[in-house]
């Protein structure tokens, strides 16, 4: 799959999904979340950083599939400053993904073995940070998705990824090589005293060629997961307020070599979510 085919497939799928969703929303969940952890790491920063993260998330289903949108707004502690400023560094990370369900398109299940549906994913990631490195990246992703027949959600996608980036140090615009990403997402209801949900996602991304300094990139592993209790159920307000713990693990963050400080993260988090 070349760049032109990847971009055309991603853009076409997103436009079709947007047109369909505008007229046929079946269900939706929107929430604001807050997370805090003290063990975050970033490449080139040889110390742990505490980060406060506010996120806005929307997921919805429509007649042909699902849509997912999330924006994370991150603020570092005093160990990571904004470029040429005494202010703490800030970062934004945006993700959008739409899935067209082949079963819904056919109006009959596309199932085999443990798979209950097959679909096609398309979307983008965007990030930007105002620290001394000043990195910004845009990624387009598209590929097949397989939803498994489990009491909850468990899906695996095989995605082609084309990305572009730049930073304030090298001063170069980079077009990375076409890469492949294996992505999974899960969500399960679990009874643990109160109703609770165990959810998360994980990605494994292959090398993307050379970075802005001419160095080889490396495979990246990224895992985010959380266990949240339905605290609102204590007051008779089910599925409104959730609280609990989360965990982030990253190896070779942003495809950097493990020999660079700050490329491995392993940190717990405290998390809250308010659903609307």
Lowest mean pLDDT among 12-21, 37-46, 155-164, 214-223: 12-21
d(CA 211, CA 255): 9
Domain 3-275 has CATH 3.90.1150.10: no
pTM of the predicted model as reported, rounded to 2 decimal places: 0.89
d(CA 73, CA 222): 18
2 burial class (0-12, 13-18, 19+ CB within 10 angstroms)?
exposed
Average pLDDT over residues 75-101: 94
d(CA 38, CA 246): 12
d(CA 118, CA 109): 9
Share of the chain above pLDDT 70, in %: 91
Rg (CA), the chain: 19
Read off the pLDDT of residues 155-167 as tens digits, 9 standing for 90 and up. 999 999 999 999 8
Name the residue ranges covered by the structural domains of the chain. Answer: 3-275
d(CA 46, CA 37): 17
Read off the pLDDT of residues 107-142 as tens digits, 9 standing for 90 and up. 998 999 999 999 999 999 999 999 988 899 999 999
What is the predicted pLDDT for the residue at 1? 46
Residues 6+ apart with CB under 8 A from 107: none
Closest CA to 97 of 119, 123, 120: 123
Eight-state DSSP code of residue 150? S
Read off the pLDDT of residues 201-235 as tens digits, 9 standing for 90 and up. 999 999 999 998 899 999 999 999 999 999 999 99
- Using the predicted structure, report yes or no on whether residue 6 has a pLDDT greater than 50: no
- Using the predicted structure, report yes or no on whether residue 8 has a pLDDT greater than 70: no
Closest CA to 207 of 215, 219, 198: 219
d(CA 128, CA 217): 19
E-strand spans in 41-114?
Answer: 49-62, 65-76, 90-101
DSSP-assigned states of every residue in 103-140: HHHHTS---BTTEEEEEEEEEEEEEEE-BSS--EEEEE
């Amino acid at each position: 799959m070349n760049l032109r085919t990847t971009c055309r497939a991603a853009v076409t799928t997103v436009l079709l999904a947007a047109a369909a969703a505008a007229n046929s929303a079946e269900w939706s969940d929107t929430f604001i979340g807050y997370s805090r952890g003290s063990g975050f790491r970033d490449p080139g920063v040889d110390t742990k950083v505490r980060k406060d993260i506010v996120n806005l998330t929307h997921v919805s289903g429509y007649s042909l599939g699902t849509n997912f949108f999330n924006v994370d707004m991150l603020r570092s502690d005093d160990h990571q400053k904004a470029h040429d400023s005494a202010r703490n560094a800030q970062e934004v990370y945006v993700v959008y993904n739409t899935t067209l369900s082949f079963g819904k398109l056919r109006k009959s299940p596309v199932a085999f073995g443990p798979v209950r549906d097959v679909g096609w994913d398309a979307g983008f990631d965007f990030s930007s940070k105002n620290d001394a490195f000043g990195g910004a990246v845009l990624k387009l992703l598209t590929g097949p998705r397989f939803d498994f027949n489990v009491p909850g959600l468990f899906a695996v996608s095989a995605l082609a990824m084309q990305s572009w980036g730049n930073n304030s140090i090298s001063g170069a615009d980079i077009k990375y090589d076409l890469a492949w990403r294996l992505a999974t997402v899960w969500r399960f209801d679990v009874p643990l005293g109160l109703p609770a949900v165990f959810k998360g996602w994980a990605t494994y991304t292959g090398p993307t060629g050379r970075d802005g300094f001419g160095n080889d990139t490396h495979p990246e592993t990224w895992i985010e997961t959380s266990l949240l209790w339905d605290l609102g159920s204590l007051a008779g307000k089910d599925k409104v307020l959730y609280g609990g713990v989360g965990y982030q693990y990253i190896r070779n963050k942003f495809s950097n070599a493990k020999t660079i400080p700050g490329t491995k993260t392993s940190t717990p988090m405290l998390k809250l979510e308010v659903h609307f």
